[in-house]
Structure 1
Amino acid sequence: MAAPKLIRTSLYWLLAAAVLALLAWAAMREPEQLASTAQVTRGPLEVTFQEEGKTRLKARYVVTAPVAGMVRRITLQPGDAVRAGQPLADIEPATSQLLDARTRSQAQAEVRGAEAQLAATHQRIGAAQAAERLAQTELRRAQTLQQAGAVALEQLDQARSRADTTRAELAAAQADERAAAERLAAARALLADEGRASAAGKLLTVTAPVAGRVLKRPLESATPVPVGTVLMEIGDPALLEIETEVLSTDAVRLAPGMAARVLRWGGEGELAARVARVEPGGFTKVSALGVEEQRTRVILDIDSPRERWAALGDAYRVEVEFIVQQEAGVLQLPGSALFRAGDGWAVYRLEGGRARRTPVTIGLRSATAAQVLQGLDEGDRVVVQPDDRIVDGTRLKTTDGR
């Protein structure tokens, strides 16, 4: 009986010793730190920045009173469609007075200026016609090569876009020619009618220089008007572009042809756009926080089909995302996992349940991710937003249980 009792006593002591050893080990064991982790993946990466912008018409035509007189009530409303040559307003000219030397010189200068403007529009039309012919030739060539598989579909789209742009520029130049001709006719009429009284009941009809829609109409009721009074503004809402004011430090990274996206414009999804030009001059603007900033204007063309953004009008607010750089199949990690290590960068890599400080070399960097050039492999897990409680070798307990 003594032997079994001794054995039981020994087992009790051994069990008690094991429990004490376990408690001692748990008390002395390094505590775990809770951390969030993310995986190093491979995929597309874009370097972008966003700015607010507004739409504007590529060509806006201001119709003014060519003579002083009484303008009759204008019935056209903003949004009404007009065709080139359509009557817009009737003016009963006032009696023409004799011109003094200064006014006559100004009228003659107006005639010369209108003639010069008309000559310049003729040159623009010639250049636009040449550009339109070249764009059409390139489009036909691209269509032929694309059918033969010699060029990519993207090059065909670019050739088609250039053809559409040159066609629109030719139409705008021709419209400017008509507007210049109207200005010249009005300037000559001022000199020709000097000292003449208007015939009873004779009306001067102001016509539309181009086809489009009425944008603004400051006057409604019949009222006397001096020369140059704005009667209405006309434009084509289908020819919209976007104007943005970009920080000069961002503008130097942009160039004509760069891709962009139109976000939060009021409709469904995003619109494709591209940089048309970056204006060379800058200006100072005070931000909402009272900080002076150097900015410059960047103009974009909308590439998405007109049917998608037909509801957009003149001076509508939009947000534009500029795509500065983009790469496909890039090894990347969340930007919040990076921290400074001397002159370079490092991360905490999860290895065997512990944090391992790992120097990395990065390339492209967006607002949320960074390209990994050296230091990590695809599938590695890194600590996101590490704090000062995590050092090399710290035991980790991840929030996702990995």
Structure 2
Amino acid sequence: MISLPSLSKRFPKLLIYLGIALATAIAIVLLLRPTPVAVEVGRVEQGKLQVTVNAEGMTRVRDRYILAAEVNGQLDRITLNEGDVVEVGDVVARIDSLPHTTAVQEALGRLAEWRAQRAGVETQRPKTAALAQARSRIATTQANQRQIEARVAQAQAALEQAQRDRQRAQYFASTGVISRQAREQAELNEQTKQEEHNAALQAAQAARSEVAVAQKALALLQAEQSDPDYLLEVYNARIASVEAELARLQDEAQRTEMRSPVRGQVLRVLQRSAQVVSDGTPLLELGDPTKLELVVDVLSSDAERVAVGNAMQVTSGTTQLEGRVRRVEPSAFTKTSALGVEEQRVNVIGDIDAPTILGDGYRVDVQIVVWEKPNVLQVPLSALFRCNQAWCVFVVNNGKAERRTVTVGQRSDTTTEIQQGLTAGELLILHPTEQIQDNRSVTIND
């Protein structure tokens, strides 16, 4: 039996042991209790939502004119510079025409010939050798005509064969028997044969004209044998005709002037130095830089959502402008991205407001608004995650995470429309992780 003095001595130790046991139990409970997860939150908002297609674009002058040389000749140095203002009809380039100069010399030679022949009409009639030469010329031109007409027939046969080849190539290409390159080669061959046939027809026409000229020359010589007075009138008429032609050629040969067809500015000087140029050589680019349009190449998948009339938000540095889609081009083209991936892209053409702030060829960032609504329930995209083939979010409710399934609609780059499952003002967990579970305690980061 334990005495009272002995029990009184052991009582403090029992209290200490009991305290230690209680503290240990409390510590184990606290350690085993799940700690709240720190989360970042956002609110469900009600407001305007825009869905855009974002891309880079470029400004360009809407009506661009490229002035090209109209004749072969010597180009004078162009003194205009990029940015110079031109009016309609202003002289922008000058060309000394070499062919016109040659034509003048030929006309002078013919004039001298007709004058010499007129002077000798009364004293010298055409001789037998001249008539024989004229007949020989007719025979030569007729033989040349027959050769050329034979080439026309040959070119016609080659063209018909090329057409049949092209038809077969198109049929086999449509069935996959031959490649598209083979079909394009057949089409190119047909075009080449068509051009050869056209050239042969033109040559045949020229040959017939030469025969007619030779026959007229013989008839003229024969008439000269019996009617010198008539020949005098003929030569007078020819001299007058050549003199009129000579006056015209001399006027044209002096200088050919290129004039501006539009009021605007010089965009580019393509040929500045004095040099010999051929017909069709580009010399200048002209246009009105106050009349700009936007050219935006977007992915073909995005182009399906773009329609004429869509608003365009244009950014260039600190400049913000508004525009509108005028045309979506019907054909796509292949473009290699910065990552080396080939993409199919489509040009979207837009009109821009206040274009004088920008210039031709400026790079801009463009957002094409393909959908918008003024009063939409929306949440940040970072709050959504997939769950059971649906979209879900975590709502913060009384310090705990509550998982909800939502129905989403349109979405922009940062937010998405909520059609069902949430109400405005509710707190959502942004960037949910695997630590967050339904009914898990959370704490909100400041």
**Which residues of structure 1 form unaligned runs of 5+?**
107-191
1:92-103 maps to which residues of 2 (within 5 A)? 92-96=96-100
Write 1 or 2 for the structure with the bigger share of helix.
2
2:42 and 2:251 map into 1 onto residues whose CA distance is 85
* 2:297 matches 1:245: yes
1:376-391 maps to which residues of 2 (within 5 A)? 376-391=422-437
Q: Is the 8 A contact 1:94 1:197 kept in 2?
A: no
Residue matched to 2:395: 349
* 2:351 matches 1:301: yes
Structure 1 residue 52 displacement after superposition: 1.0
Q: Is the 8 A contact 1:347 1:357 kept in 2?
A: yes
2:91 and 2:345 map into 1 onto residues whose CA distance is 42
SS at match of 1:23: helix
SS at match of 2:305: coil
SS at match of 1:250: helix
Alignment counterpart, residue 291 of structure 1, candidates 341, 351, 361: 341
1:363-382 maps to which residues of 2 (within 5 A)? 363-382=409-428
2:274 and 2:201 map into 1 onto residues whose CA distance is 29
Q: Is the 8 A contact 2:97 2:253 kept in 1?
A: no
Alignment counterpart, residue 323 of structure 2, candidates 254, 258, 273: 273
1:3-402 maps to which residues of 2 (within 5 A)? 19=23, 22-96=26-100, 198=250, 202-263=254-315, 265-266=316-317, 268-303=318-353, 305-306=354-355, 310-400=356-446
Q: Is the 8 A contact 2:311 2:325 kept in 1?
A: yes
Residue matched to 1:156: none
Structure 1 residue 68 displacement after superposition: 1.5
Q: Which digits, 9 at most, give the CA deviation of each residue in 1:86-111, with x for residues without a partner?
A: 11122221133679x969969xxxxx
- CA 1:8–1:49: 2 relative to 1, 3 Å: farther
Q: Is the 8 A contact 1:244 1:297 kept in 2?
A: yes
Q: Is the 8 A contact 1:355 1:395 kept in 2?
A: yes
SS at match of 2:27: helix
SS at match of 2:423: coil
SS at match of 1:95: helix
Q: Is the 8 A contact 1:93 1:198 kept in 2?
A: no
Q: Which digits, 9 at most, give the CA deviation of each residue in 1:16-60, with x for residues without a partner?
A: 776555434312211222211111111111111211111111111
1:326 and 1:16 map into 2 onto residues whose CA distance is 67
Aligned length: 306
1:193 and 1:325 map into 2 onto residues whose CA distance is 68
Q: Percent identity?
A: 39
Q: Is the 8 A contact 2:63 2:288 kept in 1?
A: yes
- CA 1:289–1:202: 2 relative to 1, 3 Å: same
1:200 and 1:393 map into 2 onto residues whose CA distance is 94
- CA 1:292–1:42: 2 relative to 1, 3 Å: same
Structure 1 residue 339 displacement after superposition: 0.7
2:288 and 2:201 map into 1 onto residues whose CA distance is 36
Structure 1 residue 14 displacement after superposition: 8.9
SS at match of 1:270: strand
Q: Is the 8 A contact 1:95 1:197 kept in 2?
A: no
- CA 1:105–1:240: 2 relative to 1, 3 Å: farther
2:202 and 2:93 map into 1 onto residues whose CA distance is 28
- CA 1:102–1:243: 2 relative to 1, 3 Å: same
Q: Which digits, 9 at most, give the CA deviation of each residue in 1:146-202, with x for residues without a partner?
A: xxxxxxxxxxxxxxxxxxxxxxxxxxxxxxxxxxxxxxxxxxxxxx989x8645982
Q: Which digits, 9 at most, give the CA deviation of each residue in 1:241-292, with x for residues without a partner?
A: 01111111110111111001112x23x3311011010011112222222222
Q: Is the 8 A contact 2:327 2:350 kept in 1?
A: yes
One-letter code aligned to 2:331: G
Q: Is the 8 A contact 2:264 2:288 kept in 1?
A: yes
1:77 and 1:12 map into 2 onto residues whose CA distance is 101
2:38 and 2:425 map into 1 onto residues whose CA distance is 21
- CA 1:359–1:200: 2 relative to 1, 3 Å: closer
**Which residues of structure 2 form unaligned runs of 5+?**
6-10, 107-197, 204-243
Q: Is the 8 A contact 2:60 2:294 kept in 1?
A: yes
1:300 and 1:376 map into 2 onto residues whose CA distance is 38
Q: Is the 8 A contact 1:65 1:229 kept in 2?
A: yes
TM-score, normalised to structure 2's length?
0.62
